[in-house]
Chain A
Amino acid sequence: MMDRNVLLEMVLEPGTGKALEVKAGHILRIEQIDGLQCVDFNCFNLHDYKEFMHCGRTRTVHGFNPTKGAFLWSAPPRERALMYILEDTVGRNDVLFPRCSAYVYESAYGFDTHTNCHDIQAEAQREYGLTPDDVHDSFNLFMYTEIGRNGRVTITRQDTKPGDYADLLALVDVLAVPNVCGADVMRTSNFALKPIKLTVFEATDEEIAAAPKTPTLKSQRTPKDFRNPTIKTERRLTRDSAYVAEFVNTPVRLEDVAIELSDEEVGMLDGLRQPVYGADDGAALRDIVFTWWEQKFLGAAESGAPANRRQETVMRSLTRVRYPFLSFSSVRGAK
């Protein structure tokens, strides 16, 4: 932390969490003190809590173990990069498991009360007026998970060391909520609860520049784009009698394109035909066309997120045609 403008330093004691305002261009360092401790993490847009980190989107873009170079994305329809993993000395993080909950410890272990990540998250974010229902699936730092051949996910022991850390660069102003994972009767943190150090400090220009720019697209909608922008405060659900469905691009219209294939091309079609289409030549050819398109044009833009500079360059060139309104957002001045 030499030559750093440190804004906050604190220790998260076992069983606790903390909601922290981390402004765009600031870094939250989550650091092992004793080692061997899992940390659950969530974040919200500080200016609109309805935009929050979404493990599903993050998992889709970066895989099951996001690490250095990955973004933490918000849920659709916002779908923005909220934070960027600037550094990660361990590289074992998880977005498969949800946060552990009181139910887990009661149902499996018989505890009336037990430290658990959902309730710790809820208690920490209560400082900002949020409710237990506002806790979302967590980004699980220093959580070693594996997927078995049977499709089940398991937790294994970890080997993080004192001083290991992950640096999360805020790309927009966020409310960041890390907590010491409450699992002491699981392998998650090697059967013990340990403290964690948190530091918030200003990023350097070089660090900010290290975060690839993500696209700003028309599809990234905010409440001003919603047909119903009002946050519902009534818990009971009642039908809106004035509701009229407005699904986009409906009804779906079909058009036939007839193509004369030569004998040679019929042979190509038969050679490429997926068995699932049987004798339906049109469906088989349609599959070939869009498979061709995917392979030729989708590439790095598939997930809408450049993982590195090279991919960003590729995506810029590809999306220019697909999205003429494309521009790239910068961390500076982001809200």
Chain B
Amino acid sequence: MAGKTVVVRLNQQQLELLDRTIARGEATDRVALIRKALREQAAKPRDGGVR
């Protein structure tokens, strides 16, 4: 797998929101949550507008 490393810069409030989302069982950790968000957004049907 080639791929690439992406660094997402987040502040403590953004991290708090992600951590609370993780706490409710959406993902096991921050990386997994970000990956899930990316994949779920990509799976949504495109309507030609901003999603």
Residues from chain B with a CB closer than 8 A to the CB of A289 are 8, 18, 33-34, 37-38
Which of chain B's residues 12-51 have a Cβ closer than 8 Å to chain A?
12-15, 17-18, 20-21, 23-24, 30-31, 33-35, 37-42, 50-51
Please state if B11 and A261 are interface contacts (CB–CB under 8 Å): no
Please state if B7 and A282 are interface contacts (CB–CB under 8 Å): yes
CA distance A254 to B7 in the complex (A): 12
Our pick among A255, A265, A274 for the contact of B50 (Cβ within 8 Å) is A274
Q: Would A272 and B31 be within 8 Å (CB), given that A255-B12, A291-B51, A293-B37 are in contact?
A: no
Our pick among B1, B10, B13, B20 for the contact of A286 (Cβ within 8 Å) is B10
Please state if A259 and B6 are interface contacts (CB–CB under 8 Å): yes
Our pick among A260, A274, A322 for the contact of B5 (Cβ within 8 Å) is A260
Residues from chain B with a CB closer than 8 A to the CB of A283 are 9
Closest residue of chain A to B23 (Cβ to Cβ) is A321
Q: How far is the CB of A295 from chain B (nearest CB, A)?
A: 8
Q: Would A269 and B11 be within 8 Å (CB), given that A257-B31, A259-B5 are in contact?
A: no
Our pick among A266, A292, A322 for the contact of B37 (Cβ within 8 Å) is A292
Number of residue pairs spanning A and B whose beta carbons lie under 8 angstroms apart: 113
Check A290 for interface membership: any CB of B closer than 8 A: yes
CA distance A249 to B11 in the complex (A): 10
Interface residues of B, dominant DSSP: helix
Residues from chain B with a CB closer than 8 A to the CB of A272 are 38, 41-42, 51
Q: Would A252 and B6 be within 8 Å (CB), given that A259-B34, A285-B38, A291-B41 are in contact?
A: no
Q: How far is the CB of B19 from chain A (nearest CB, A)?
A: 11
Please state if B41 and A285 are interface contacts (CB–CB under 8 Å): no
Residues from chain A with a CB closer than 8 A to the CB of B7 are 256-259, 281-282
Please state if B9 and A254 are interface contacts (CB–CB under 8 Å): yes
CA distance A271 to B41 in the complex (A): 10
CA distance A190 to B6 in the complex (A): 61
Check A33 for interface membership: any CB of B closer than 8 A: no
CA distance A268 to B4 in the complex (A): 12
Residues from chain A with a CB closer than 8 A to the CB of B9 are 254-257, 282-283, 286
CA distance A196 to B34 in the complex (A): 58
Closest residue of chain B to A289 (Cβ to Cβ) is B37
Residues from chain B with a CB closer than 8 A to the CB of A292 are 37-38, 40-41
Which of chain A's residues 241-271 have a Cβ closer than 8 Å to chain B?
249, 252-263, 265-266, 268-269, 271
CA distance A194 to B14 in the complex (A): 54
Q: Would A271 and B42 be within 8 Å (CB), given that A261-B3, A293-B17 are in contact?
A: yes
CA distance A263 to B50 in the complex (A): 23
> 11 A-B residue contacts at CB 8 Å?
A254-B10, A258-B8, A259-B5, A259-B35, A265-B39, A269-B38, A272-B38, A272-B51, A281-B4, A291-B41, A293-B37
Binding site for A on B (CB under 8 A): 1-15, 17-18, 20-21, 23-24, 30-31, 33-35, 37-42, 50-51
Binding site for B on A (CB under 8 A): 249, 252-263, 265-266, 268-269, 271-272, 274, 281-283, 285-286, 288-293, 295-297, 321-322
> 7 closest pairs, A vs B, by CB?
A268-B42, A292-B37, A289-B37, A281-B6, A262-B3, A321-B24, A257-B8
| 4 further contact pairs, Cβ within 8 A, besides A271-B42, A297-B21 | A256-B9, A259-B7, A281-B6, A321-B24
